[in-house]
Structure 1
């Protein structure tokens, strides 16, 4: 195939005899078809990637890419039909998405999903059904055509093309991080557990330090048989001693004054560590010096990632010392300071809030502006504005922000009003919030009827405010997720372009693609960890910062805002 006929897109689909590859030109017109055996697929993809660097079109990235990575094949770009279908089907930028909504088979759940994925605030919106995702080449080709037509006919094709490209790049990153794994020292993890919980008990027993904390709780309750792991029973025991809480939430308990509170909080912390990341977790999720969680890109309605196994998105601080680079390698650990408030400044065009953030801690900048008196007040006020807190300190401080930063506050206030009225809102690139459920709409309708009771009206107002808080944060959290995807995609490309190290300095446990070069090993909303040969550590750290700057330009053009990073090079991921 000469350069003029080089494919811009290659659609892969399963066929009765193996795999069919459909080669498309720049306008997605078919040029050729190739029939491949499963065994020959990896070699053929490697050759096509090297010769033409096409964008690979497939139904679901984990179904295709995991085997390619295991065979030592990396691809630069893809179009994930399942992920992009979910975005385009619901985007308010698309005037008519009927064809996409009719293709319900593309609403299937992620291939690797094993557990329910949480939705923001657990509000309205149905979870993906357990449908079977189409795998045939004609199915994928037809869905690709529907998606291209929907984008081309949308009100802003450029934004949707950027969003679908970023979402698909995120799918590649997720698969690659699972393949490479996060370097993990199992012996150090065991040491931390023993020091924190006590020696590992026999089956059915409790570690000594956890058992001691439980005994202190029961002593303070005056009930040696109190059940500490059943919330209803624990609440009754707390009520009997005058601790009149409605839940055993840590924040609610911390507001109480009673001898039981300190040991109970300690017990809950230790119990959580044992159940979420104890010895059972260590045996199940860490093997050959690597933790390989299952990431679910787009698993939350805002576009944030979720995880389907391993709890990657709840990695506790006390275990970060077990995250250790291989010998001769280093970790580049980077997180973004106040990502969501910075994104809010950019998407609202609020130059005053951007100035408060430029080159410094955003909360300190708000204090310097005179809007509030302390950094803690600034943090409470910003979080209250983004999450809709209307009482206590937030209720007192948010009006000050409205006066100081009217454009930023106006954007989230308008998003809240839209949600309360039953409308939908969209992120910067066009991901749109779910519509309210039929139950929500029925409740609002019932409250307007002549025979509605006061209780009906109160419930309707409460649910409307809940939805307003959801939409208020959706636009900010979702746009921050888009910025993070752009950051990941750009960083991934920069790392892939760095020179490989020789075999003597390789890290073979990272797999055939990543054993000899810097690579992404972990991502959590606003934080990345890069595993890199020591000789490339400084360059990898610079790549992290350069990618953040590039992501800001890509989404927000020349708006005067920086995305301030805390970047460090270390042997472990433990923060200072």
Structure 2
């Protein structure tokens, strides 16, 4: 497959370099920036892989021009993976531009005004960086796994840009109706909605605090304590067990206030345009490889406002999420046959009960969450020995990851994404178990920090591998959806939204059943890519709906 590196040449020109298999340049084409879309469209008629410094700097303009790219290598994302991977000889990536690639950040619309006129990417050499990355990959003993991760990460960058360009269908009138029903009419600037004002009054009366500002946690805490309530904070789970007339309106106020702040009228004004909610998704935005988002809280859209996500006329939303992704991933990466057997059930936790590991689904869930997140006390700690006996390979994997983290070592995902090295006094000076306690408590503090880092690395290997499964799912599904449709991109089924282990596809109604099938097939493909023939299942809950809220 041909590889073509794109380079900026000033503000008005682009150079496209054709690379041979050995990395040498076989041809170079210089063209005005205005002709790039036509050039890329013409080259996409044959298999080609575009190599560029950063997808966020190239792809949005191509999409605006109606050009879809099938494959790319995102050097910024690949560099970040390789620089942290224990599968890579870091000397092969070393160069006087390494620091510049380390520091390179994605570009999103909200940041546009913050960027200098001279883009820092323009000071970097994509051709040389591509050569270094290819050399590091070729020399790795795990180049197959690492190569899959790099390809999936770059495909994820294409998916992210396409979802921003397409947007999630969003009915502003439905959203406004939801807000009005829950909060009252839109208030004047600087004023509370009517429902919040009423609840504030009830809270003040119940606490005998006529000047209380319920938006101030400190003031609320002092008022609660003055009223004789035994609380040390104002968290909802602290307040819920308390029998006092101030608690119900205070809990309702907190819930509605979060809605107003996160997804109220200001959110609607800022993030919904032309019937679409568009956020900027950032692949690899979290150290585990999970995505982040810039703008609109895309990765935490509450169920209260999901009725506003409505498909266009003649279209439907296909909503799919995978059940218990991380325990299933743990079964696959550890090769634990007994846990894989439990995973054949649509409800893995119920499968654990059927296999005799624990007595109830609740015990299975709390035990597995404790194993993956480091809950070694209480009920989860009580369940861990049972799980370890039934699933020794799975529990052994996360326990070893925890111990490695406590020793200050780097751990890695299945495909080779490395955890960041620990920092702080405990990492610089490991705890000596024979060390006498001192009055400052420094040994105890270092021990707590060491165990906390072990909890992080315990979860890193599972959450990160789950992110890799999801990347492979998205990458394969993206191409399956394109092959289903015909005509211009905006008339084809396409990914419209993504939240960790849930996807939303916007599709012409007549293709909805086919889309649902392809979503399932892509999940199966992702499992095979990561775990080969190992028999671990990834069942999906798939719904074809008009509104996202109807997916349940």
TM-score range, shorter-chain basis?
over 0.9
Conserved? CA contact 2:322–2:502, under 8 Å? yes
What residue in structure 2 maps to residue 237 of structure 1?
Answer: 223
What residue in structure 2 maps to residue 407 of structure 1?
Answer: 393
What residue in structure 1 maps to residue 21 of structure 2?
Answer: 26
- What SS does the corresponding residue of 2:548 show, helix, strand or coil? coil
The answer to whether 1:110 aligns with 2:97 is: no
Match of 1:538 among 482, 501, 513: 513
The answer to whether 1:79 aligns with 2:73 is: yes
Task: Map Cα deviations across residues 458-503 of structure 1 (whole Å, 9 max, x no partner).
Answer: 21111111101100100000000000000000000001111326xx
Q: Quick one: distance in 1 between partners of 2:455 and 2:160?
A: 30
Alignment map for 1:284-295 (pairs within 5 Å):
284-295=270-281
User: What is the deviation of 1:567?
Assistant: 0.2
- What SS does the corresponding residue of 1:515 show, helix, strand or coil? helix
The answer to whether 1:46 aligns with 2:41 is: yes
- What SS does the corresponding residue of 1:530 show, helix, strand or coil? strand
Conserved? CA contact 2:101–2:124, under 8 Å? no
Match of 1:558 among 525, 533, 543: 533
Conserved? CA contact 2:371–2:384, under 8 Å? yes
Q: Quick one: distance in 1 between partners of 2:228 and 2:534?
A: 55
User: What is the deviation of 1:325?
Assistant: 0.3
Q: Quick one: distance in 2 between partners of 1:223 and 1:115?
A: 41
User: What is the deviation of 1:115?
Assistant: 8.8
Greater mean deviation of Cα atoms: 246-255 or 52-61 = 246-255
What residue in structure 2 maps to residue 3 of structure 1?
Answer: none
Q: Quick one: distance in 1 between partners of 2:295 and 2:426?
A: 32
User: What is the deviation of 1:114?
Assistant: 8.1
Conserved? CA contact 2:160–2:283, under 8 Å? yes
Q: Quick one: distance in 2 between partners of 1:287 and 1:402?
A: 52
What residue in structure 1 maps to residue 166 of structure 2?
Answer: 180
What residue in structure 2 maps to residue 157 of structure 1?
Answer: 143
Match of 2:494 among 507, 516, 519: 519
Conserved? CA contact 1:108–1:133, under 8 Å? no
Q: Quick one: distance in 2 between partners of 1:493 and 1:208?
A: 48
User: What is the deviation of 1:350?
Assistant: 0.8
Q: 1:258 to 1:138 in 2, by over 3 A?
A: closer
What residue in structure 2 maps to residue 494 of structure 1?
Answer: 480
Q: Quick one: distance in 2 between partners of 1:131 and 1:405?
A: 56
The answer to whether 1:8 aligns with 2:33 is: no
What residue in structure 2 maps to residue 504 of structure 1?
Answer: none
Conserved? CA contact 2:171–2:310, under 8 Å? yes
Match of 1:251 among 237, 240, 255: 237
Q: 1:9 to 1:254 in 2, by over 3 A?
A: farther
User: What is the deviation of 1:256?
Assistant: 4.5
User: What is the deviation of 1:407?
Assistant: 1.0
User: What is the deviation of 1:446?
Assistant: 8.9
Task: Map Cα deviations across residues 219-254 of structure 1 (whole Å, 9 max, x no partner).
Answer: 333312223223333333333334444443333433
- Normalised to the residue count of structure 2, the TM-score between the two structures is 0.94
The answer to whether 1:327 aligns with 2:321 is: no
Q: Quick one: distance in 2 between partners of 1:382 and 1:220?
A: 42
Runs of 4+ in 1 over 6 A off after TM superposition: 129-133
Q: Quick one: distance in 2 between partners of 1:99 and 1:109?
A: 15
Q: 1:47 to 1:137 in 2, by over 3 A?
A: farther
The answer to whether 1:297 aligns with 2:283 is: yes
Conserved? CA contact 1:112–1:294, under 8 Å? no
The answer to whether 1:570 aligns with 2:536 is: no
Conserved? CA contact 1:166–1:486, under 8 Å? yes
Q: Quick one: distance in 2 between partners of 1:228 and 1:488?
A: 43
Q: Quick one: distance in 1 between partners of 2:227 and 2:240?
A: 16
Task: Map Cα deviations across residues 150-180 of structure 1 (whole Å, 9 max, x no partner).
Answer: 1111221111111010000000000000000
Q: 1:221 to 1:115 in 2, by over 3 A?
A: farther
Task: Map Cα deviations across residues 94-118 of structure 1 (whole Å, 9 max, x no partner).
Answer: 13346348511012353335899xx
Match of 1:37 among 7, 20, 32: 32
Alignment map for 1:495-510 (pairs within 5 Å):
495-500=481-486
Conserved? CA contact 1:166–1:489, under 8 Å? yes
Q: Quick one: distance in 2 between partners of 1:446 and 1:223?
A: 53
Conserved? CA contact 1:166–1:485, under 8 Å? yes
Task: Map Cα deviations across residues 106-155 of structure 1 (whole Å, 9 max, x no partner).
Answer: 12353335899xxxxxxxxxxxx999865449701111111111111122
The answer to whether 1:278 aligns with 2:264 is: yes
User: What is the deviation of 1:406?
Assistant: 1.2
What residue in structure 1 maps to residue 196 of structure 2?
Answer: 210
Greater mean deviation of Cα atoms: 369-378 or 331-340 = 369-378
- What SS does the corresponding residue of 1:476 show, helix, strand or coil? helix
Match of 2:341 among 343, 349, 355: 355
Task: Map Cα deviations across residues 529-548 of structure 1 (whole Å, 9 max, x no partner).
Answer: 00000111111111100000
Greater mean deviation of Cα atoms: 401-410 or 548-557 = 401-410
Conserved? CA contact 2:92–2:135, under 8 Å? no
Alignment map for 1:217-228 (pairs within 5 Å):
217-228=203-214
Q: 1:465 to 1:72 in 2, by over 3 A?
A: same
Conserved? CA contact 2:431–2:447, under 8 Å? no
User: What is the deviation of 1:450?
Assistant: 5.9
Q: Quick one: distance in 2 between partners of 1:260 and 1:563?
A: 45
Q: 1:448 to 1:131 in 2, by over 3 A?
A: farther
Q: Quick one: distance in 2 between partners of 1:346 and 1:533?
A: 35
Q: 1:107 to 1:45 in 2, by over 3 A?
A: same
Aligned length: 547
Q: Quick one: distance in 2 between partners of 1:53 and 1:427?
A: 30
